[in-house]
Amino acid sequence: MTRMARNIEIKARLTDPDATRERARDLADADEETIIQRDVFFHCDSGRLKLRHLGPAHGHLIFYRRADTAGPKTSTYRISETDGPADLEAALAAAYGVRAVVSKTRTLLMMGRTRIHLDRVEGLGDFLELEVVLEEGEDPAAGVEEAHALMHRLGIEEDALIDCAYVDLLTKPD
């Protein structure tokens, strides 16, 4: 069996998404891409399992594990592509049950090996997510250092960091 991929991830709430977008554009290696995503989360005791709808005939089934802590953290994940997301969703919903649905518009920019996500999440607002993709066997400390440096360059303060996934924010009891 192949090993799960890893990245170092941070997520932060944005108070000025337009200013962050401009700073991210200045740092990016290429033009931005806008992606409409609908993530269906299923009940899963060993991590998080979601089906990301990217269109009627394209989706990704994503299983991942990461600590619920603020600041840079290691995320391990596996992605499987599907050309039948609706059928797969029906099967997974029947098997595991749907936990919640997260709908968002994501602006993706790349800076080296780091994915910069500017997310507008329905019901939650605006967020930044950084994913520093690690090489197999690479020490996560290098990715943590990169994430901290990029946070600084983007003007993201420590107190803006959140410690959980969007699905957790949406399902958190008031």
Token pair listed for 118: 């500017």
Maximum Cα interatomic distance, the chain, rounded to a whole number of Å: 45
Rounded Cα distance between 73 and 7, Å, is: 8
CB 141 within 8 A of CB 72: no
Mean pLDDT by 10 residues, the chain (174 residues): 85 97 96 96 96 95 94 95 97 98 98 97 98 95 96 96 95 82
pTM above 0.85, yes or no: yes
pLDDT at 103: 98
User: Which residue has tokens 């990016």?
Assistant: 28
What values do phi and psi take at 10, rounded to 5? -135, 155
pLDDT at 5: 94
pLDDT at 173: 81
